[in-house]
Each structure stands twice: as structure tokens, then as C-alpha cells.
Amino acid sequence: MPIASDDPAYFNLHTGYDINDAAGKSVRFVPNHASNMDEWPDEVTLTAGNYNIVAESTCCGLVTVPVIIQAGKITDVHLDGNWWPPSKTSTNQLVYLPDGEAVGWSSSTVKSSE
């Protein structure tokens, strides 16, 4: 979402999103920017497990993206239309939005240790 400022440049802010656990219970809301000039996404630390990210996609409106958080690994979700998977990635390994936009890689569900 472009934001005008006193500076002649426009800043493309990341929109906020909700993180829900696998049961649909809200874990937290992430504003996803620190100011009107911050174009970097927020980093969030979560315990390992299965979550759903509920966020605005550039092309598809509000979407729910299932993610798996694994200990010691970083998980990215790309919903701004500016991400392209590496050329050697098999298309059956990717997760897509309804319009065909790739947003990440697929994985097996992690069993909860609860």
C-alpha cells in the first residue's frame, strides 16, 4: 500500500496480518511496519507448529495461508506479487493463491507435541 510523505518518495508498506493457531484461535496481530516509511516486514518468533496467516494479498483480497513453523528455520509468506520461486523449483512444491500466484513452498504437516 503506497503511502505519501513529506518526502517526494512513496513508501510501500506491508499490511498487518493475523496469526491463528491450527484450531483457529488468534495467536497475535502483526502490524508489519514500524512507521509510515518502513518498507521492511516484521520478523515474528513463534514456537514450532501449524498456523494460519490471515492477510491481504495484492491480487486476491483477504486470504488464509497455512504455514508450518519448524524450530531453527525461517518461514516467509509472500503476498505482494513481487516474489518468484527459484527457477529449479518444481511447481508441485509450491503453494498458490487462487489466481495462480506462488506464495511459498508446500510441506508436510508438523505433528504437535501437545
Secondary structure of residue 2 in the 3-state scheme: strand
Residue 77: the pLDDT is 80
Q: Where do we find the cell 507448529? A: 49
pLDDT computed for residue 12 by the predictor: 63
Mean pLDDT for the chain? Answer: 76
CA distance linking residue 42 with residue 44, whole number of Å: 6
Of the listed ranges 32-41, 46-55, 65-74, the least confidently predicted one is 32-41
Q: Is the pLDDT of residue 23 over 90?
A: yes
Amino acid (one-letter) located at 68: I
CA 70 to centroid of chain Cα atoms:
15
What's the confidence (pLDDT) of residue 90?
65
User: Is residue 17 over pLDDT 50?
Assistant: yes
CB 35 within 8 A of CB 10: no
CA 82 – CA 70 distance, rounded (Å): 25
C-alpha cell at 43: 520478523
DSSP per position, 84-110: ---TTS-GGGEEE-TTS-EEEE--PPP
Q: How many CB atoms lie within 10 A of CB 112?
A: 11
Condensed to tens digits (0 to 9), the pLDDT of residues 60-101 reads 788 898 888 988 888 878 777 677 777 766 666 777 777 777
Is the separation of the CB atoms in 65 and 95 below 8 Å? yes
**Amino acid 113: pLDDT:** 46
